[in-house]
Amino acid sequence: MAHVLAADIGNTIARFGLLETAGAGAEGAPRLLSACEVTTRQPITADEARMQLGQILSELTGKASSRGGACPSPEGSILSCVVPTLTDAWHRALADTVPGRQLVVGPGLRSGVKLRFNDPSEVGPDRIADAVAARAAYGAPVVVVDLGTTTNFEAIDASGAFCGGIIAPGVALGARSLAEAAARLPIIELRAPERVLGRSTREAMQSGVVLGEAARIDGLLDAVLAELDNDAHDATPVIITGENADAIAALLRHKVTVDDTLTLRGLALIWQANQRG
């Protein structure tokens, strides 16, 4: 077995996980030992990232140890970063902190999933990790809905290829945009109101933002599942992950599975696939 530190740097939240994986040339699902998340700092220097990474590693190893015995240090790392200006700083910080191979998800790195895109280099690294983990855990076809600064859909067809997706504004971004663009609209708590028709400005905004997001996801899932064009599209697994996944899942009419660690496990699988036997 080998241990890897996975770093998923998003626009708003950065997630880190310590995972146990099969060794080079072996197969098997990675096991998440511990995870934590921090606010993404922009901009950040390599020195600042390295200092933050030291605290993160201490937190991860402490959590893992508290759940059962000693926790080995990671033997390598893998980075997914959707903010291009931060990629170099975090890559250098990981190289200075974690021994072994340091991988960055992008062109040239083997994922094992065919990308049916006009320009595969445009596909975000987090979306690739989602696709890898979803196919490994749930088979194909499968659809992933990843909630963050953007709401992303990733569709894996029956052949196991990443055949396309959707990118839309995320629920928090929608709420913030309303408050910033309209002088009299407040910043709201992201929770579902008791009724669709709000009886206050806040309730009306919560209905539009939160219930509207659920309705949008349901409507898009109808179209995505139909476009996948398989005979049993009603049985195609739909996986939801990311921020507020549990809350949004409870509002959907589609049957979905909440998987909070999907992206981190996908990164570990990509790291595993790129080790030399």
Catalogue the active-site residues. Answer: 126
Number of C-alpha atoms within 13 angstroms, CB side, residue 164? Answer: 7
> Which residues lie below 8 Å from residue 122, measured CB to CB, with a gap of 6+?
none
State the pairing for strand pair 238-242/142-147.
Answer: parallel
Between CA 88 and CA 85 the distance in angstroms is 7
Q: Is the peptide bond before 30 cis (omega within 30 degrees of 0)?
A: no
Q: Select from 129, 176, 131 the least CA-distant residue to 150.
A: 176
Contact 132, 270 (CB under 8 A): yes
Nearest-5° Cα angle at 252, 250 to 255: 90
- Strand 142-147, strand 162-169: pairing: unpaired
